[in-house]
Every structure is written in structure tokens, then in C-alpha cells.
Amino acid sequence: MSLGITISFDMENGVSIGGIPKTVRENKGKSLLEFIDNYVVLDLETTGLDPTYDEIIEIAAIKISNGEKIAEFTTLVKPECLIDEYITQLTGITNEMVKDAPKIEKVLPELINFLGDSVIAAHNANFDINFLYDNCMFCINKAFSNNFIDTMRISRRLFKDIRHRLVDLSKEFKITADIQHRAMADCELTQKVYEYMRNHCNTNNIDLAAFHKTSHGKSFDLDNYKPESEEFDVSNPIYGMSVCFTGALEKFQRKDALQIVTNLGGIPSDSVTKTTNILVLGNNDYCSSIKDGKSNKQKKAEDLILKGYDLIIISEKSFYDML
């Protein structure tokens, strides 16, 4: 399937897409698109969205066997840096709450022992898996290689024209969700969403692996950017997403980034609106020490997230990982 993007391999930097070096997480587990009976639901709360710059501040995991909880793991984690006010507003986790919590170096071996070789289920799973992978490499010099199931990927495949955040799916599926953005509550909700979608497929005789959208179904916001192919990989995380950039990009020019989004079936945008799904921060903007130096796009995106809109903020590096 052609996406109009050159894919090559560089022995020093790994895979590159259109000449852009891409992080290669060797021995990372596979993303599975299936329903299984035994798994561990996982959720992390972090100080931000990029494993390179940000830290884990809460971990929760629930072992599930045939639809029933058989064990759980939960802990706050003390980060090296202070928790940003925005993250506190989003998660409810304060610096006071984590001041006496164990550090990630102590927590990680206990978590890995709890997880064993279980398949991990998580909502927007690559986020949690990448944080775990990078922390495992740093703390214990070992790749996190568990296979994983992404409930967001399943919901995007099954349901059209709805938002796919956990809170939105809980409303759509009429699942009670009193607490949001705390790790254990999100684990419990993820498990309920996963089982709901399993029942939906069983009731409607849907083969999840074969079920997919056949058309793009959305127009492009910027007239100057047209896809170089009308065939799209609908499972890629950019497909159907409205993507905006802010700040100076280090690896390529803005126009090239917008074309890549278009080629992947995404919707390039030059402003943050209520329909924006992803805001990519140039590396000059993305720095944990910057408090008042955020761009207007970033401030607007943070405000929309706090108001409940289906939007995430990622770094330029995380954008490469999504490709």
C-alpha cells in the first residue's frame, strides 16, 4: 500500500520515514487486535506526554481472568521534577501527594514482577507501553516486550463518528465512570470498555480483524495539501486525525510535516480548534522547565483538554514515533 512516503533503513539511526529518523524500540511487544480472556489492564499517569522529557507519577494494573479481577497493583511515584499545575488540574495528583512516594527505580521491578508475561490492555496503549519501555531500559537495561491490546484502536475500528476518549466511550456505552485521569479508575473503565466491545462483536457476529472502514470520510482543511495516494492504512494513528503544529520543527520543515499528515489520511490544520485531535510541539517549545513560555496554540489546546475535548499534545519526537 503506497502512502507517498519513502521508507528506508539507516544503520546508525534506524528506520526513517521520508528521511526522518524514527525511534526504534527493539523487542517491543506487538499490538494485538483481538479479544482474549486473560490479560492485565494497565494505566499510567505522567507529568506529560513524552517519555524523553516526562516522568511517571502513578501506576495501576489489574489482572483479569475470564472477566474477573484476580489481583491489582497501584502506587504513586515520586518524580524528579515538580508536577506542572496543568497536570495537577488534569489528574488531581499534587506534589504533596507524591512527596513520600517511592521513585520509579524501586517501583519498576515490582511492577514487572506483577505483570509477568501477560498481555497488556490499555487505552491509547502505545503511550503507556512506550513510557514503560523507556523506563525499563533506563532503570534495568531491559526492554519491555509484553504484547499489548489498544482499546482505543479497537473502538476506532468498530465505531464511526464518536469520540474515543475513555470518558466519551463510557457515556456512549452507558458505563458508570465517577473518576477520570486517576490510574486505577481508568484501569477499571478500560476493562469495562474492552468487555463491552467484546460483547458487541459477539452479538453482531463481527470479525474484529476483518472489520474496518473502507473510505476516508473526511475532507482536508488546507487546500494546498492533497494525498499522494487515495489508499490509506486506516489502522495508523494519524488516519482521520486533525493535526496541528506549533514551534520550530528540528527534523523537517512545516510544509513537509503537513504533507506527511495528509499522506497518512490525516487532516492538516494551521490552528487549534475544537476539532483538533493532535497538537505537535516543536522541540523549542517542548521543555519541562518552560512554564510561561508556552505558545498560544499550546495554551489553547491545554484549555480545550481541560474542558473535555478529544485532543492530545505531543512532542515532535512522539510524532515521529506515531509514524
- Could you give the CA distance from residue 36 to residue 22 in angstroms, rounded to a whole number? 31
Contact (Cβ atoms closer than 8 angstroms) between residue 44 and residue 132:
yes
Q: How many CA atoms lie within 13 A of 200 on its CB side?
A: 15
Q: Which helix (H) or strand (E) holds 267?
A: strand 267-269
Cα 273–276–279 angle (5° rounding)? Answer: 105
Distances (CA, A) of 247 to 134, 218, 269, 303, 315: 25, 26, 14, 18, 10
3-class DSSP state for residue 166?
helix
Contact (Cβ atoms closer than 8 angstroms) between residue 183 and residue 74:
yes
Instruction: Report the 3 state secondary structure along 201-218.
Output: HHHCCCCCCCCCCCCCCC
From the list 123, 181, 200, 212, the catalytic residue is 181
Give yes or no: 181 in active site.
Answer: yes
The type of residue at 191 is: Q
Catalytically annotated residues: 181
